Amino acid sequence: MVNPSRGPERLVRAGQWLIALLFAYFLIQVGGALIADLPLLSSQPRLEQYLDQPRVAALETELQPLQSRQQALQEQADRLRERQQQASQAYGREKASFDNWRSARSVTEQSEQNPEVIARARQLDGLLQQQQQLSAEQERIEAQLRALRASLAPPQQQLGELRAQAEGRWRQAVQRAELRAFGIRLLFVGPLLGLALWQFRRFRGSDQWPFVWGFLLFGLFAFFVELVPYLPSFGAYIRYGVGALLTFLVGRALIRWLNTYLARKQQEQVAPQEQRQRSIRYEKALQALGRSQCPSCERSLPRRDGVLPDYCMHCGLQLQHDCSQCGFHHYACFPYCPSCGKPADLAPERLA
Ligand SMILES: [Zn+2]
Ligand SMILES: [Zn+2]
């Protein structure tokens, strides 16, 4: 099939798309930097701002000596427990050794009043006493620790309440900040997207189209990247509400577009053959025929031996005709006869 674009035109067209993308890229960078520099968006509320600082400080100074005393006592108790364990093990070992020794001796039937027996029994007693002393000391320290914990509890509870209150106020402040940040972003991005869509609708057909497309991409990027992720998440209402609204708007726009398209096609089809031929742009006609489509009604056409029919069977548009000078059979949209070069009777404006 004949390619409708001229040689350098294809290259220039690719270059124009590159221009559109580059234009969008630089606008996106500028827009992103601008939004990032907004002072109202960078300040986040901090939890400490909502604490009753003097009261917290007073409670902490009250707690501090008690807590260090608690730590010291705890360490002391740990050390005692260790010593007690050692003492208990030492007693166990000594007792087992004494028992063995005594049972070995009883075989030889010597007196229990032997000084060696008495000395060893005393040693065992001493070990037992040491163990008992350690136990008593441990109990004393545990009692001190319990008393300390009881006096620690009220200020600790007050501190916890203060922190919980501050956290509640802080969460509310964070939500307000999110909402405000979203509002500010909306103030920037909303009009930008509106402008981008409006200029796209009006000027996309102009020869400035790379800038029109670039600006549209910029607007869409700003909407989806700089606005949508910052939708405040108060439950799912806003997020899904916006989703539903957008779907509704896009759906309605599609239905409207389809209706106008069908109405336009119907109007085109009732016009006389000559006027219909004139109204179709040359490039568009060649592209459509290349895809085996009718240039007017855009329905598909069957090829017989690679050749399209003379008339569209869907709308009646004449697709091929004979040259009035040499009789050569060719596409009706060609501005010149490919055989004899006679200019077509129809549509000089189709030469565009
Ligand atoms: Zn047709
Ligand atoms: Zn001819």
What is the Å distance from ligand 2's center to 227 Cα?
A: 61
Give the three-state DSSP class for 336: strand
Ligand in nearest proximity to the CA of 296: 1
Pairing of strands 329-331, 320-322: antiparallel
- Whole-model pTM above 0.75? no
pLDDT digits (tens, 9 = 90+) for 16-53: 999 999 999 999 999 988 888 877 666 778 888 888 88
What is the Å distance from ligand 2's center to 321 Cα?
A: 11
Which residue, 308, 335, 307, 306, is CA-closest to 323?
A: 335
Q: Per-residue confidence at 101, pLDDT binned at 50, 70, 90?
A: confident
Residue 350 confidence (pLDDT): 42
Over range 162-167, report the average pLDDT: 92
Ligand in nearest proximity to the CA of 336: 2
Integer CA distances (angstroms), 231 to 28, 38, 227, 301, in order: 20, 18, 7, 49
CB within 8 Å of 279: residues ≥ 6 apart: 268, 271
CB 283 within 8 A of CB 9: no
What is the Å distance from ligand 2's center to 333 Cα?
A: 14
What is the Å distance from ligand 1's center to 317 Cα?
A: 6
Ligand in nearest proximity to the CA of 330: 2
Geometric angle at alpha carbon 313, from 307 and 314, rounded to 5°: 125
pLDDT digits (tens, 9 = 90+) for 292-350: 999 998 899 999 888 999 999 998 899 999 998 999 999 988 889 999 999 887 644 44
- In the chain, what's the furthest Cα-to-Cα distance? 153
Ligand in nearest proximity to the CA of 273: 1
What is the Å distance from ligand 2's center to 164 Cα?
A: 92
Length of the chain: 352
What is the Å distance from ligand 2's center to 272 Cα?
A: 24
Is 81's pLDDT higher than 50? Answer: yes
pLDDT digits (tens, 9 = 90+) for 140-152: 999 999 999 998 9
Ligand in nearest proximity to the CA of 337: 2
What is the Å distance from ligand 1's center to 288 Cα?
A: 11
Is 258's pLDDT higher than 80? Answer: yes
What is the Å distance from ligand 1's center to 312 Cα?
A: 5
What is the Å distance from ligand 2's center to 341 Cα?
A: 6
What is the Å distance from ligand 1's center to 217 Cα?
A: 34
Residue 44 confidence (pLDDT): 79
Helices of type H across 108-236: 115-203, 209-221
What is the Å distance from ligand 2's center to 10 Cα?
A: 29
Over range 248-263, report the average pLDDT: 93
Q: Per-residue confidence at 266, pLDDT binned at 50, 70, 90?
A: confident
Question: What residue segments make up the domains of the chain, in order of their start?
Answer: 13-231, 233-270, 272-352
Is 351's pLDDT higher than 50? Answer: no
Give the range with max mean pLDDT: 34-48, 235-249, 250-264, 268-282: 250-264
What is the Å distance from ligand 1's center to 344 Cα?
A: 21
CB within 8 Å of 63: residues ≥ 6 apart: 152, 155, 156, 159
- 293-316: buried (b, 16+ CB within 10 Å) or exposed (e) per residue? bbbbbeeebeeeeeebeebbeebe
What is the Å distance from ligand 2's center to 328 Cα?
A: 5
Residue 305 dihedral angles phi and psi, to the nearest 5°: 50, 40
Q: Per-residue confidence at 193, pLDDT binned at 50, 70, 90?
A: very high
What is the Å distance from ligand 2's center to 72 Cα?
A: 112
